[in-house]
């Protein structure tokens, strides 16, 4: 069974009720301050690295009536570090809920999924998820129109075996024994290889009337591999680890 954690999210709404006879872009509504105060923690928790990889709009009407209001439903999918711990999940999801709702208070039903692998985003989360919606689970016409979130709660679900998946993914991704700081450093050097290789290839085969694209491409590939081998020798790692670090750095936005 997945572990479900509930806590109340306190909402303070300052003059945010919508009038049905006023357009959404009413200047008064645009300037209305809205604040969200969420659960705080007794001690600071260092959050893991994360990045937004996909946002999906699955909005529906609140009823079958032709004039029914829209239940604005969004799913946010985030890639998180495979070093994330169980203790970091709730604070991270709390921060994300606060950030998303503060930036778009019109969201009526929010779902957040956390992934440790970018290749998994077409399916369900493999780390954790959070929902932010009315306690009774239904966004009514009145809630959608007023944006009154006093009845909202956050619901967290953590995958039972997420840590086993993270360990397995980490071992299969680099299998190098290199710590996170060193892998980041290597990735930064690898990210500069293409630029350095092109600069050198441009000097050997300048782009003029005699430019030969085939020779240029071959020389670029040769120089690129040479620079990568220099990094391999420098850190005593093989080409497979170079490839894995490049993929890991790209996925995590290093």
Residues 121 and 208 in one domain: no
Residues 120 and 41 in one domain: yes
Q: pLDDT tens, position by position, for the chain (254 residues)? A: 444 443 444 333 333 333 333 333 333 223 333 444 445 444 578 899 999 999 999 999 988 887 889 999 999 999 998 888 889 999 999 999 999 999 999 999 999 999 988 888 888 888 999 999 998 878 988 999 998 898 999 999 998 777 666 655 555 544 456 777 888 889 899 999 888 988 888 888 888 777 788 888 888 989 998 999 999 888 888 888 888 888 888 888 88
Q: Which of 110, 143, 167 is the last residue of a domain?
A: 167
Q: Which of 149, 167, 185 is the last residue of a domain?
A: 167
In three-state secondary structure terms, 95 is helix
- The total domain count for the chain is 2
**pTM of the shown model:** 0.53
Residues 137 and 97 in one domain: yes
Task: Give the separation between CA 65 and CA 60, rounded to whole angstroms.
Answer: 12
Residues 188 and 156 in one domain: no
Residue 31, domain extent: 3-167
The alpha carbon torsion through 78, 81, 83, 86 (nearest 10 deg) reads: -20
253 touches 80 (CB < 8 A): no
Residues 124 and 15 in one domain: yes
């Amino acid at each position: 069974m997945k572990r479900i954690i509930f806590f109340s999210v306190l909402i303070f709404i300052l003059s945010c009720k919508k009038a049905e006879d006023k357009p959404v872009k009413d200047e008064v509504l645009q300037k209305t301050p809205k604040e969200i105060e969420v659960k705080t923690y007794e001690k600071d928790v260092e959050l893991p690295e994360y990045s937004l990889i996909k946002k999906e709009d699955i909005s529906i009407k609140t009823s079958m009536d032709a004039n029914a209001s829209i239940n604005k439903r969004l799913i946010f999918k985030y890639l998180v570090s495979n070093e994330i711990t169980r203790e970091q999940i709730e604070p991270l999801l709390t921060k994300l809920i606060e950030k998303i709702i503060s930036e778009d208070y019109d969201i009526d039903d929010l779902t957040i999924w956390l992934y440790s692998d970018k290749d998994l985003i077409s399916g369900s989360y493999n780390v954790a998820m959070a929902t932010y919606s009315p306690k009774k689970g239904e966004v009514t016409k009145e809630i959608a129109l007023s944006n009154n979130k006093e009845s909202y709660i956050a619901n967290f679900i953590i995958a039972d075996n997420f840590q086993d998946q993270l360990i397995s993914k980490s071992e299969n991704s680099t299998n190098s024994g290199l710590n996170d700081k060193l892998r980041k450093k290597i990735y930064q050097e690898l990210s500069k290889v293409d630029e350095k290789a092109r600069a050198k290839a441009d000097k050997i085969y300048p782009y003029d009337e005699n430019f030969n694209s085939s020779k240029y491409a071959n020389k670029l590939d040769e120089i690129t591999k040479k620079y990568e081998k220099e990094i391999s020798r420098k850190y005593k790692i093989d080409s497979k680890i170079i490839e894995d670090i490049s993929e890991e750095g790209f996925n995590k936005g290093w």
